[in-house]
């Protein structure tokens, strides 16, 4: 980082090089000359400038018609261009005739980096940015209402400048030339002025600090909504998007990758591909049309904060970063630098006057009981807080200095009858601030789940739930998020199965695939006995055939699952694409060939293993039935494997290729909520099953015929392939194999079999898991961030997880694989 800073410093001083590029007004030629002078390849320039290789290539070849001023500035900085070269580079790319700059008076200060590019994006990227802006605005408006930010009015979140050692130098923040005098930065304000503060920072990089529960996430939401509140004819570009980075591992994932992956997760329609084969999500990030609002830097594991800050310092991307002060300061000391070019503000505590204006407005109980002019539930508490004559009142005033604790206190005492907040002054029960906070956290869930009259809800179930059971189930969910070395905050429905240890998941796959294959074998054989076979039905033989097919196919699918687990492959992810059967649906641009080959290879391997396993099952059944002489047994099993292995393999590979051919990105609302994404994935899984079953059935019949003909020509074997038997074998593979794949290897199938069956059977979750999650969201225990849930606050999540483990639930053999592997969650906030 120091080398990078010194390089920029040398560039700003305008040092002339011995070798000068040939004067030319051809944009690509001039840029290529600068790059060759610096002795850089396009890939090296891309790494230095954080501009994609494809963008550099288009600029040099003259194929870029939508370049941006900021992109040219990044390239000029990386190439160490002087002032005249910078002027010439930007002028000729804008189609202007560059004039002499040496005789002009050099400006003292560079122009502020614009929030939007000088020229608006056009075409597909412009449409994608506009639709993304609308969707982001709708989602956060809904979430702001759900969090009751305006009930009765927003708490006055204020901020002030952070200490100077936590932000860059003023001249760097303002992007001044050497010798220029920086102006005073006005970094004080409140919730409604945060956009103005951000726009006053020329570097467009801002760090927001505050203690736990001080309102950083609410400020981030307000920032996004206010920034998007532009006239209808002007869509803000770049589009502000909130990214929770608590689960980011900067050692294995770049900042660009996590931005693109989160966009694809929360906005599946961005999986559409541009003309150069990139997804819209990747194109938006590469074109600087996304303004990342990185929420939760402090929620990163301690060992990852330093590398994360270094990764952020390696880019000049405009961004907003939120964190607790101590964790951010520790990272700054670790890397010996704050976030470069970034201003830094710190949220201040609420005052007693703020509480006096807010809490009485929440006291609806005293009003409804005729107490509008009488003593309210908060009067005595506020009076003691104003006086602050005892350590207890000072301690409680400090605890109530954050919006989080005010919300918890309001929920426990202001919205429940018979609760007196004066008990919070009891120094025997609450000798420290920590005891007060734990008491408020412990009482939050029971207060929300207190019994009340049923309310009209949607199809997800009843509202009333037992508070003790709900707290235990929520504790399990919070505990499941602590698995692994760093833990995570996103509660994704497709990852609930990860709370079960790997050996149990493999056994689950074996049993599930075996059951599917046995059921398919029995159904198909019963059909054959009813309409095709001339021999009598023998129940023992039929049961044995199904059992052997179940055993061998279960082992095959179990081996595949084990191999995926050993390779570190993550859990099955929700589909980003659906199945579209019209040409319009499939018009998604060029899809990489590697994607299709990977699908084909996976299908080929799994199908071959399944075909060989079924060959042995059929052979063993016929041997037990004395259908083959001993002399013919080896040739029979060999021919069956040579036929069924390639047949099932090629059929499965081509079937999965067929699915890829009909894939189409989902619509913009597909991941509006977690349950919406679940519903879309259920429909996609059903459509996959409806395509795979007939495709594999017919493919086995036709593919087997081709394989048999080849064997007859090459090996001169007298192998027969009756059409009736081929269709029956194909039907077994289609029904059993496709069902096993959908239930065991898709996100929706794992959700059904693990989260809806296994976890309720072991009493870790309720049977109506969907209704429970939606109910917890409605009550305010959970919040929604795109396609995932999160607990209302990380402190609530960690309190529930600790309570669950303290009750003796968290060390069972079926759950806590992460702790046995040496992993641990970050320390409590």
3-state secondary structure 95-159: CCCCCCCCCCCCCCECCCCCCCCCCCCCHHHHHHHHHHHHHHHHHHHHHHHHCCCCCCCCCCCEE
pLDDT band of 636, cuts 50, 70, 90: low
- Between 668 and 71, the more confident residue is 71
Please tell me the distance from the alpha carbon of residue 545 to that of residue 609, in angstroms, as a whole number. 18
Count CA atoms within 13 Å of residue 417 on its CB side.
7
pLDDT of residue 7 exceeding 80: no
- Between 322 and 813, the more confident residue is 322
CA quadruple 523, 529, 533, 535: dihedral positive or negative? positive
681 closest CA partner among 571, 573, 574, 570: 574
Q: Residue 376: count other Cβ atoms within 10 Å of its Cβ.
A: 20
**Which residues have a Cβ under 8 Å from the Cβ of 270 and sit 6 or more positions away?**
128, 132, 263, 264, 279, 280, 281, 284, 665
DSSP state of 271: G
| CA dihedral angle for residue 504, residue 505, residue 506, residue 508, rounded to 10 degrees | 90
- Between 711 and 345, the more confident residue is 345
What does the pLDDT look like over 730-740, one tens digit per residue? 888 889 888 98
CA distances from 601 to 476, 479, 605 (A): 38, 37, 6
pLDDT recorded at residue 13? 33
pLDDT band of 595, cuts 50, 70, 90: low
What does the pLDDT look like over 262-312, one tens digit per residue? 998 888 888 888 877 788 999 899 888 999 999 999 989 889 999 999 999
- Between 367 and 250, the more confident residue is 250
DSSP state of 663: E
Lowest mean pLDDT among 382-391, 534-543, 765-774: 534-543
Question: Contact at 8 Å (CB) between 548 and 617?
Answer: yes
Please tell me the distance from the alpha carbon of residue 500 to that of residue 480, in angstroms, as a whole number. 9
pLDDT recorded at residue 589? 41
What does the pLDDT look like over 136-171, one tens digit per residue? 999 999 888 888 888 888 999 999 999 999 999 999
**Which residues have a Cβ under 8 Å from the Cβ of 669 and sit 6 or more positions away?**
135, 676
Q: Which residue is it, tokens 């954080």?
A: 50
Once rounded to an integer, what is the mean pLDDT over residues 690-701?
Answer: 82
pLDDT recorded at residue 699? 80
pLDDT band of 464, cuts 50, 70, 90: low
Beta bridge mates, 330 = none
Lowest mean pLDDT among 69-73, 153-157, 337-341, 792-796: 69-73
3-class state of residue 294 by DSSP: strand
Enumerate long-range contacts of 717-724, CB under 8 Å, 24 or more apart: 717/639, 719/639, 719/643, 721/643, 724/528, 724/532
pLDDT recorded at residue 441? 93
Please tell me the distance from the alpha carbon of residue 590 to that of residue 605, in angstroms, as a whole number. 26
Please tell me the distance from the alpha carbon of residue 553 to that of residue 517, in angstroms, as a whole number. 7
pLDDT > 90: what percent of the chain?
31
Please tell me the distance from the alpha carbon of residue 322 to that of residue 325, in angstroms, as a whole number. 9
Please tell me the distance from the alpha carbon of residue 161 to that of residue 188, in angstroms, as a whole number. 6
pLDDT recorded at residue 661? 61
pLDDT > 70: what percent of the chain?
75
Please tell me the distance from the alpha carbon of residue 817 to that of residue 500, in angstroms, as a whole number. 8
pLDDT of residue 794 exceeding 80: yes
Please tell me the distance from the alpha carbon of residue 648 to that of residue 56, in angstroms, as a whole number. 46
DSSP E strand stretches across 583-728:
663-665
Once rounded to an integer, what is the mean pLDDT over residues 78-82?
Answer: 78
pLDDT of residue 514 exceeding 80: yes
Once rounded to an integer, what is the mean pLDDT over residues 469-496?
Answer: 85
Q: Which residue is it, tokens 């072991």?
A: 762
Please tell me the distance from the alpha carbon of residue 291 to that of residue 112, in angstroms, as a whole number. 16
Which of 91-95, 105-109, 635-639 is predicted most confidently?
A: 635-639
pLDDT band of 653, cuts 50, 70, 90: confident
pLDDT recorded at residue 366? 58
pTM summary value: 0.73
The answer, yes or no, to whether the previous bond of 152 is cis (omega within 30 of 0) is yes
Lowest mean pLDDT among 41-45, 433-437, 599-603, 715-719: 715-719
pLDDT band of 79, cuts 50, 70, 90: confident
Which of 243-252, 556-565, 697-706 is predicted most confidently?
A: 243-252
DSSP state of 64: -
pLDDT of residue 413 exceeding 70: yes
Burial of 263 (0-12, 13-18, 19+ CB in 10 A): buried
pLDDT band of 637, cuts 50, 70, 90: low
Lowest mean pLDDT among 368-377, 651-660, 698-707, 775-784: 368-377
Question: Contact at 8 Å (CB) between 422 and 380?
Answer: yes
pLDDT recorded at residue 162? 96
pLDDT recorded at residue 760? 92
Q: Which residue is it, tokens 């605005």?
A: 137
Report helix, strand and coil shares of the chain as percent, to nearest 5: 60, 5, 35
- Between 381 and 110, the more confident residue is 381
Please tell me the distance from the alpha carbon of residue 800 to that of residue 635, in angstroms, as a whole number. 63
pLDDT recorded at residue 476? 94
pLDDT of residue 325 exceeding 50: yes
What b-and-e string marks burial along 165-203, b requiring 16 or more CB atoms within 10 Å of the CB? ebbbeebbbbbbeeeeeeeebebebebeebbebbebbbb
pLDDT recorded at residue 647? 79
Please tell me the distance from the alpha carbon of residue 176 to that of residue 112, in angstroms, as a whole number. 10
Question: Contact at 8 Å (CB) between 502 and 484?
Answer: no
Question: Contact at 8 Å (CB) between 608 and 645?
Answer: yes
Question: Contact at 8 Å (CB) between 385 and 406?
Answer: no
pLDDT band of 15, cuts 50, 70, 90: very low
pLDDT of residue 682 exceeding 60: yes
pLDDT of residue 206 exceeding 50: yes
Once rounded to an integer, what is the mean pLDDT over residues 500-504?
Answer: 82
516 closest CA partner among 752, 766, 761: 752
pLDDT of residue 27 exceeding 70: no
Please tell me the distance from the alpha carbon of residue 456 to that of residue 458, in angstroms, as a whole number. 7
Q: Residue 439: count other Cβ atoms within 10 Å of its Cβ.
A: 19
pLDDT recorded at residue 96? 46
Question: Contact at 8 Å (CB) between 646 and 680?
Answer: no
pLDDT of residue 244 exceeding 80: yes
pLDDT recorded at residue 648? 77
- For residue 760, what is the enclosing H or E element? helix 759-761
pLDDT band of 4, cuts 50, 70, 90: very low
**Which residues have a Cβ under 8 Å from the Cβ of 275 and sit 6 or more positions away?**
589, 590
pLDDT recorded at residue 38? 80
pLDDT recorded at residue 11? 35
Please tell me the distance from the alpha carbon of residue 50 to that of residue 413, in angstroms, as a whole number. 52
pLDDT recorded at residue 88? 72
Taking all residues of the chain, what is their mean pLDDT, rounded to a whole number? 78
- Between 576 and 102, the more confident residue is 576
Once rounded to an integer, what is the mean pLDDT over residues 47-63?
Answer: 75
- Between 469 and 609, the more confident residue is 469
pLDDT recorded at residue 455? 46
**Which residues have a Cβ under 8 Å from the Cβ of 407 and sit 6 or more positions away?**
none
pLDDT band of 111, cuts 50, 70, 90: very low
pLDDT band of 428, cuts 50, 70, 90: very high
Which of 91-95, 152-156, 631-635 is predicted most confidently?
A: 152-156
């Amino acid at each position: 980082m120091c080398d990078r800073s010194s390089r920029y410093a040398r560039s700003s001083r305008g040092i002339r090089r011995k070798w000068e590029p040939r004067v030319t007004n051809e944009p690509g030629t001039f840029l290529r000359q600068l790059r060759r002078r610096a002795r850089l390849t396009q890939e090296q320039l891309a790494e230095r400038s954080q501009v994609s290789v494809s963008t550099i290539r288009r600029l040099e070849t003259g194929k870029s018609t939508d370049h941006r001023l900021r992109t040219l500035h990044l390239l000029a900085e990386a190439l160490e261009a002087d002032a005249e070269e910078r002027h010439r580079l930007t002028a000729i790319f804008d189609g202007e005739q560059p004039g002499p700059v040496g005789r002009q008076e050099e400006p003292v200060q560079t122009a502020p980096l614009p929030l939007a590019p000088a020229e608006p994006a056009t075409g597909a990227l412009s449409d994608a940015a506009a639709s993304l802006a609308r969707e982001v605005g709708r989602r956060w408006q809904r979430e702001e209402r759900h969090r009751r930010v305006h009930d009765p009015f927003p708490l006055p979140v204020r901020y002030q400048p952070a200490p100077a050692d936590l932000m860059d130098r003023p001249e760097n923040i303002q992007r001044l030339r050497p010798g220029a005098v920086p102006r005073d930065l006005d970094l004080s304000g409140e919730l409604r002025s945060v956009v103005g503060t951000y726009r006053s920072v020329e570097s467009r990089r801002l760090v927001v600090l505050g203690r736990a529960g001080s309102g950083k996430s609410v400020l981030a939401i307000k920032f996004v909504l206010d920034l998007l509140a532009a006239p209808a004819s002007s869509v803000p570009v770049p589009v502000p998007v909130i990214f929770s980075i608590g689960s980011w591992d900067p050692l294995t994932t770049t900042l660009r990758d996590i931005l693109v992956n989160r966009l694809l997760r929360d906005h599946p329609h961005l999986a559409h591909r541009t003309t150069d084969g990139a997804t819209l999500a990747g194109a938006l990030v590469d074109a600087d049309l996304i303004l990342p609002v990185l929420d939760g830097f402090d929620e990163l594991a301690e060992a990852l904060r330093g590398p994360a800050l270094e990764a952020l310092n390696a880019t000049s991307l405009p961004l907003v970063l939120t964190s607790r002060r101590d964790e951010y300061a520790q990272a700054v000391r670790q890397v010996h630098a704050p976030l470069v070019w970034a201003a830094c503000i710190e949220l201040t505590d609420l005052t007693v006057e703020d509480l006096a204006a807010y809490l009485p407005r929440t006291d609806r109980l005293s009003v409804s009981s005729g107490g509008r002019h009488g003593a309210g539930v908060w009067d005595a508490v506020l009076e003691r807080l104003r006086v602050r004559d005892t350590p207890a009142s000072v301690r409680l005033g400090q605890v109530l200095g954050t919006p989080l604790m005010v919300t918890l206190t309001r929920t426990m005492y202001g919205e429940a009858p018979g609760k007196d907040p004066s008990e919070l002054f009891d120094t025997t029960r609450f000798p420290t601030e920590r005891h007060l906070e734990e008491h408020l956290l412990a009482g939050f869930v029971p207060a929300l789940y207190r019994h009340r009259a049923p309310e009209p809800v949607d199809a997800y179930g009843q509202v009333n739930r037992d508070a003790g059971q709900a707290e235990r189930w929520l504790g399990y969910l919070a505990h499941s998020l602590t698995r692994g070395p760093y833990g995570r905050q996103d509660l994704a429905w497709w990852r609930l199965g990860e709370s079960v240890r790997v050996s149990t998941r493999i056994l689950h796959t074996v049993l599930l695939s075996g059951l599917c294959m046995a059921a398919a074998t029995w159904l198909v054989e019963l059909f054959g006995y009813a309409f095709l076979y001339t021999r009598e039905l023998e129940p023992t033989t039929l049961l044995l055939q199904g059992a052997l097919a179940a055993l061998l196919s279960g082992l095959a699918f179990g081996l595949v699952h084990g191999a995926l687990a050993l390779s570190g492959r993550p859990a099955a992810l929700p589909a980003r694409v659906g199945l579209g059967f019209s040409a319009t649906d499939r018009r998604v641009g060029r899809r990489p060939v590697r994607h299709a080959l990977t699908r084909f290879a996976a299908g080929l391997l799994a199908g071959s293993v399944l075909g060989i396993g079924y060959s042995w099952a059929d052979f063993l059944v016929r041997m037990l039935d004395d259908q083959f002489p001993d002399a013919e047994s080896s040739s029979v099993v060999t021919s069956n494997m040579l036929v069924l292995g390639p047949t099932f393999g090629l059929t499965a590979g081509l079937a999965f290729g067929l699915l890829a051919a009909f894939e189409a990105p989902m619509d913009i609302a597909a991941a509006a909520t977690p349950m919406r994404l679940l519903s879309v994935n259920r429909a996609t899984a059903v459509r996959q099953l409806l395509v795979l079953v007939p495709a594999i059935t017919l493919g086995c019949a036709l593919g087997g015929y081709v394989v048999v003909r080849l064997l007859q020509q090459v090996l001169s074997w007298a192998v027969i392939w009756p059409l009736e038997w081929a269709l029956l074998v194909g039907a077994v593979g289609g029904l059993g194999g496709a069902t096993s794949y959908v239930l065991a290897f898709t996100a929706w199938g794992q959700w059904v079999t693990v989260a809806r069956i296994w976890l309720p059977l072991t009493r870790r979750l309720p049977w109506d898991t969907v209704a429970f999650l939606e109910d917890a969201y409605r009550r305010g225990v959970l919040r929604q961030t795109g396609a995932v849930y999160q607990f209302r606050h990380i402190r609530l999540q960690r309190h529930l997880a600790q309570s669950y483990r303290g009750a003796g639930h968290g060390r069972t053999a079926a759950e806590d694989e992460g702790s046995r592997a040496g992993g641990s969650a970050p320390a409590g906030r």
